[in-house]
Amino acid sequence: MERIFSILALVAALGAAAYSYVTTERQRGDVETLQAQVEGLKKSQGDVQRVLGEVQKDVKTQGQQFQELVGMLTGQGAEPETQLDMDKLTDAKNAEFLEAFGKQDGVVKLPSGAMYKVEKEAPAGAKQATATSTVTVHYAGTFVDGTEFDSSYKRGEPATFPLEGLIPGWLEILPMMKEGDIWTVALPYQLGYGEAGRGHIPPRQTLVFKIELIKVSP
């Protein structure tokens, strides 16, 4: 009888040890799984912070570009690096430029006085802008003597902005363009900054733009 009890005790001890081993291994596995999950969360958090940092940088850069563009198109931008020679920007010089530009082959003159020449035509069926569109463009702006006062090409990135609130000439011309169009546009001062000028734009200045319409949304 004592031998039977001894055997039963041994079996019980073995069972307890086995249970303890299984439980310990299970806990160890759970701990390892939990550790792996924690490491994954840490990595994900790092990835999220990195992406957020990049987004914030992009937003800041785009915001600066937008402010620069709006400044240029509202006449409130920074002073041009090149000193203007006003003897080359007289009323007579502006009138001479507009007359000569209007005689070039392929130039279209609108009733408002705006003129444009298609340098590259968009593919058939390309999306067209409207007065309320947001557009992505490359552009360069000069006075009639060729002095450049702003250029997205020089900044190395196109600009994205809503058309609403910009100078009259852009509001008239951009809705006529399609994605892929590249136009040279001449705007008399009435469609730019008027009699008084604004910011670094002198009074009564014709503005000449190369405009490349890259994207229209919506």
Residue 167 falls in the annotated catalytic set: yes
Place of tokens 């009323």: 91
Cα-based angle 11, 14, 20 (whole degrees, multiple of 5): 140
For residue 184, give Cα distances in angstroms to 92, 137, 177: 21, 13, 11
- Chain-centroid distance of CA 144 in Å reads 29
In residues, how long is the chain?
Answer: 218
Give the active site residue among 101, 116, 150, 182: 150
Residue 149 falls in the annotated catalytic set: yes
Give the active site residue among 116, 143, 161, 209: 209
DSSP assignment of 52-79 equals: HHHHHHHHHHHHHHHHHHHHHHTT-SPP
Helices (H) and strands (E) in the chain, counts: 4, 7
Residue 4 falls in the annotated catalytic set: no
Give the active site residue among 97, 116, 139, 161: 139
Give the active site residue among 143, 149, 161, 189: 149
Give the active site residue among 101, 143, 167, 201: 167
Residue type for 97, please?
F
Residue 163 DSSP code: S
Give the active site residue among 116, 173, 193, 201: 193
Pairing, β 148-151 against β 115-120: unpaired
- Measure the CA–CA gap between 201 and 92, rounded to whole angstroms: 17
Residue 150 falls in the annotated catalytic set: yes
Residues with catalytic function: 139, 149-150, 167, 193, 209
